[in-house]
Structure 1
Amino acid sequence: MQLDPQGMAPEDLSHAGSVVDKSIEYMIGQNIAPISVASALLGGALGLMARSMKDPAIANVLRSALHSVESGELEELRQSSPPTAGNG
């Protein structure tokens, strides 16, 4: 796994994000509730992290996610995307 030129993210992060986005679109298209999609993705992500990372690294990822919520970053995202069932 190689890091980007700034040393911040793996070079394949964009590709992985695109695959996840397509999976989300598919599940929503199958009328799976957004909370179920999100819960399944979060559970899968935590399971993958548990198998491939040490607890301090997982805690750092979760702290970063919490910081995004607390800083209003997700609110900005919410306002720039079309509404879906369950995010209103």
Structure 2
Amino acid sequence: MTDMPELQDRDLSHAGSVVDKAIEYMMGQKVSSMAIASALLGGAMGVLSRSLPEDVIVQILQNAIASVESGEMRGMSGPDTAGQA
């Protein structure tokens, strides 16, 4: 990871755009939302496991679970905006 915030923002925006295009493509190919989400989550877990210790990954997952349980994710339904960071 880099310490330069502007580079991180650019990388995040680029990665988000690529993921959005991949999702758009798979939706066009009639791949189910569950399959797309599962594949993306699996890929993300692979990236995390190569770059972070297990306790940090667990913390990230616990934060994600807390967001779901608090209802925070309900407000995110609608068009994907991952590449619009």
Q: Could you state the TM-score of these two structures normalised by the residue count of structure 1?
A: 0.73
Query: What is the alpha-carbon distance in structure 2 between the residues aligned to residue 72 and residue 4 of structure 1?
Result: 29
- Alignment deviations for residues 8-46 of structure 1 (CA, whole Å, 9 cap, x no partner): xx3222221221111111111111111111111111111
Q: Determine the structure 1 residue equivalent to 2:5.
A: 4
Runs of 4+ residues over 4 Å off in structure 1: none
Q: Determine the structure 2 residue equivalent to 1:49.
A: 48
- Alignment deviations for residues 36-62 of structure 1 (CA, whole Å, 9 cap, x no partner): 111111111111111111101111211
The structure whose residues are more often helix, as a share, is 2
Percent identity, please. Answer: 50
Q: Determine the structure 2 residue equivalent to 1:14.
A: 13
How many pairs align?
76
Pairwise CA RMSD: 1.8
Q: Does 1:38 align with 2:29?
A: no
Structure 1 unpaired stretches of 5+: 83-88
Q: Could you state the TM-score of these two structures normalised by the residue count of structure 2?
A: 0.76
Structure 2 unpaired stretches of 5+: 80-85
